[in-house]
Structure 1
C-alpha cells in the first residue's frame, strides 16, 4: 500500500512544520508524564504506597495501578475521539494536555501510605485514571494534527513526528529519575521521587504555548464544509469499519507492549531478579531511548522512499520477533555494555515499526471518523497489550526464576500478533479499494 505520489516530495508549508513540531512536543510531554509513573511503579511505589505487602506483592500491586491507566485509555479515546471528530483536533488536544499536566503534578504532591493509609493508593489510582483518560485522547489527535497538515503524499512521514514523542518522553523521564537517583536512598524515597512529577507543571505551560499556535486540521475543516462533521462518530465507526478497527488494534500490539516489556518491566526484572544497580539499567535504557529517537524518523523516511509501508512494517516485525533472544541473553550477563547493546539491538525493529504504524493505520479510515477510529483501535489495544505486559512479565519472571527464555518468547508472540494484523489490514484495504473503484 503506497501513499506516495510520483516524482519529488512536495515542500512542507509553515503550518505543516508547526503542526509536526506541536505534535512532537505535545506527545513528548504526555508520554513523559505517563512514563515517569511506570518508572516510579518499578522503583518506589511498592514500598511507599503498599508498605504492608511483601516485595513481590508490592511490586505487583504497583504495576496493577500502572495497568489502571491503560484501562482508562479507551475511555479517553472514546471521549476525545468523539470530541475531535465533531469539533476539531486542536480543541481536543488542548484539553488532554491540561488534564495530563494537572494529574501528574498531583501525583508528585500525594501523601504516602505512612501518612494517610488507605487513601494514598486510592488517590494514586484516581490520578492514574486521569492520566489514562488524557493520554487516551492525546495520541490519535496528535497523529492526525501532523498527518492532516502534511504535504500531499507525506502523511505517514509527518505522522511519525507524533511517534517521536514516545522515545523523547522516555528520555526525559529516565533523565529525571536518573538525576533524582543521585540522592541517597533515604532522600530519594522521602522526597526525591516527587521531583520528576512536579516538573510536569512547567512542561504543561511550554506545551500549551506551542499547541495553541497551530491551526485546525485542513482535512477536518474541508470535510466539515463538504459533508458535515460526524454527529455520532462512535456509532458510525462501529457500523461501517468494525473489521479494520479490530485489525488496526492488533497491528498496534508490538508498538505499545514493547515499551512496557523492554522498559518498564525491564527495570523491575534487572533490579529485583538479577541484582543489577538501578542506575545501571536506567543508563542503558537511556541509551536505548536515544537510539529509538534516531531510528524513528529514519524508519519513517525509508518507508516513504520505498513506497510500501506494509512491506516495511513486516520486515521490522521480523526483526522484533528475533531480537528478544539476544537481548535477554546479553542482559543475563549483567555487564553494562552487554545490557546496553542488547537494548539497542532490540529497539531497532521496535522503533522503525512504531514510526510507520500510526500513519499506516490512520490511512485505513475516512477523515470524518478517523480520530475516533484510530483512538479506539490504539487505546483498546493499549488497555490489553500495554497494561498487562509488565504484570505478565513479572509473573513469568517469578515462575521461571533463573530462566529468561519465557519472557523472550512472550516478546516474540507480541510481534507475531502485529505481523498477522498488519498483513490482514493491507488485504482488507486492497479489497475495499477495488470495491470502491467497481462502484
Structure 2
C-alpha cells in the first residue's frame, strides 16, 4: 500500500522553526569554534611548541601544513558521513560528526609537546587534525540540509544562512576565549605569548570544547527527520551507494558546486589565518607585516567578523528575492576588485587596515550565506548529503588547504607586500565567477524531489 503525503506528515512530525534554527546553528558554531581554536593556535602556539626551535618561518609553514592537512580529510568525511546521511538519515549522522570533532579537539588540548616527546608531538597533532577535518566534512552539509529541508516555502536561502552563522559566532567565541586567557597570562614580548600561556593556558579553549559538544548533542538528539528524507524512504528511492549515484548522474553539479565555493574558501582563510600572521608580523624583517600586538589585532578582527555575521544574514533575503546565482555573481565581482585593492587600503594606516578587515569579512558573509541553500539545491534528496558535502569539502582542498601556504609564499616573494596575495584571491574569484556564469539558478527547485 502506498503512503500518501497526508499520512506521511502525520507519521513524521515536522521540526519547529526554532528547533531547526537552533540545531543547524549550534552544531556549526561548535564545529567552527573547534576549527578556529586550531587556526589561532596554529599561528600563536604550535610553531613554538610542536616543532624544533631555530627557524620561525619554517615552524610557521609546518604549522600551516598541518592546518591544511585537515582539508584533505574533509572530502573523506563528506563521503563517509554523506553515505550515512543519505541512507540512515540526517539526525544520527550529525550526532556522529559532532562527537568526532569534539573528541579530537579535546585530545589536542592534552597533547605532549616537542620538548617532551620529540617528533611524536607533531605526528599526533596531524592525526587529531585529520580527525577534525574528517568530522567537519560531514557536519556542514548535514546542518545545511536540516535548515533547507525544513525551511518554509520561499525562505530556503534565509534558513540556509543559519548554519553559515556558525562561522562568525564560532570565531568570536574562540578568539574571545583566547583573548581572555592572554589577558590573564600577559606577555612582556608582544610578538610571543607568555611562558604560562605556552605552558598550559593555550589548552583551555581546546578542553572547553567538551562543554559545547554536550550542549550541541542535547539539541540535535531532539530533532526528527525532515519530510523530504522520509518521503524518499517511503518511495524506496534510497540509493545503495549514494557516492556512485551522484557521480553517475550529477557530476557536472559536483564540479560546479566545488568552484562555486572556491572564492569563498580562499577569502575565508586569508581573512582569518593569513591575516592573523600578517597583522602580528613585525614591520621589518624577511616577511614584514603590520606590526600589531596580538590583542589589538584580534579585537580588530572580531569587529570585522561582526560584519561577517551581519552580511551573512543579509545575503539570505537577497538570495531568496533575486536568486542565488545573480547575488553571488555580484558578490564575486566585488571580491575580484577587493583583491586588487589590498595594497592601497593597507597603506592608509589603522583606518585602512580596519576598512580592509570590515570589507573582507562583509564580502565573506555575502558569499558564504547563500551557499547553505545553493549547494543542497544542486542535488536530489537521495544523494543530497553526499553531493553537497563533496562539493563543499573538495573545494576546501583547492581553496582552504593551500591558501595559507600559498599566501605565506607570495607574501615572502613580495618582500613583505601583500600585493600578490590579493592578486591570488582575485584569480580564484575569477574561477568562481566562470562557474557561476556556466551554472543555472536553483531558487525554484523542488527541495523534496
For residues 393 and 43 of structure 1, what CA distance do their matches in structure 2 show?
Answer: 17
**Which shows bigger deviation, 234-243 or 254-263?**
254-263
Q: Which residue of 1 aligns with 2:167?
A: 166
Aligned runs of 1:4-403 on 2, under 5 Å? 15-182=16-183, 183-184=185-186, 185-272=194-281, 273-274=288-289, 275-306=291-322, 308-335=323-350, 337-403=351-417
The answer for unaligned runs of 5 or more in structure 1 is 1-12, 434-439
For residues 317-370 of structure 1, what are the alpha-carbon distances to aligned partners after superposition, in whole Å with 9 as ceiling and x for unaligned?
A: 1111112344443334552x4322211112222211111123112111111100
| TM-score, structure 2 normalization | 0.89
For residues 369 and 14 of structure 1, what CA distance do their matches in structure 2 show?
Answer: 22
For residues 5-31 of structure 1, what are the alpha-carbon distances to aligned partners after superposition, in whole Å with 9 as ceiling and x for unaligned?
A: xxxxxxxx7623311221111000001
For residues 176 and 326 of structure 1, what CA distance do their matches in structure 2 show?
Answer: 32
Aligned residues of 1:19 and 1:145 also touching (Cα < 8 A): yes
Aligned residues of 2:267 and 2:360 also touching (Cα < 8 A): no
For residues 325 and 203 of structure 1, what CA distance do their matches in structure 2 show?
Answer: 39
For residues 204 and 342 of structure 2, what CA distance do their matches in structure 1 show?
Answer: 31
In the superposition, relative to structure 1, how do residues 377 and 14 fare at CA in structure 2: closer, same or farther (>3 Å)? closer
**Which shows bigger deviation, 379-388 or 414-423?**
414-423
- How many equivalent residue pairs? 416
For residues 25-81 of structure 1, what are the alpha-carbon distances to aligned partners after superposition, in whole Å with 9 as ceiling and x for unaligned?
A: 100000100111111101111111013351110000000000111111011000000
Higher helix share: 1
Q: CA RMSD in A?
A: 1.7
For residues 269 and 406 of structure 1, what CA distance do their matches in structure 2 show?
Answer: 13
For residues 339 and 198 of structure 1, what CA distance do their matches in structure 2 show?
Answer: 33
In the superposition, relative to structure 1, how do residues 328 and 174 fare at CA in structure 2: closer, same or farther (>3 Å)? farther
For residues 284-309 of structure 1, what are the alpha-carbon distances to aligned partners after superposition, in whole Å with 9 as ceiling and x for unaligned?
A: 11111111111111111122123x22
SS of match in other structure, 1:386: helix
For residues 40 and 378 of structure 2, what CA distance do their matches in structure 1 show?
Answer: 34
**Which shows bigger deviation, 149-158 or 114-123?**
149-158
Aligned residues of 2:70 and 2:130 also touching (Cα < 8 A): yes
The answer for unaligned runs of 5 or more in structure 2 is 1-13, 187-193, 282-287
For residues 347 and 49 of structure 1, what CA distance do their matches in structure 2 show?
Answer: 30
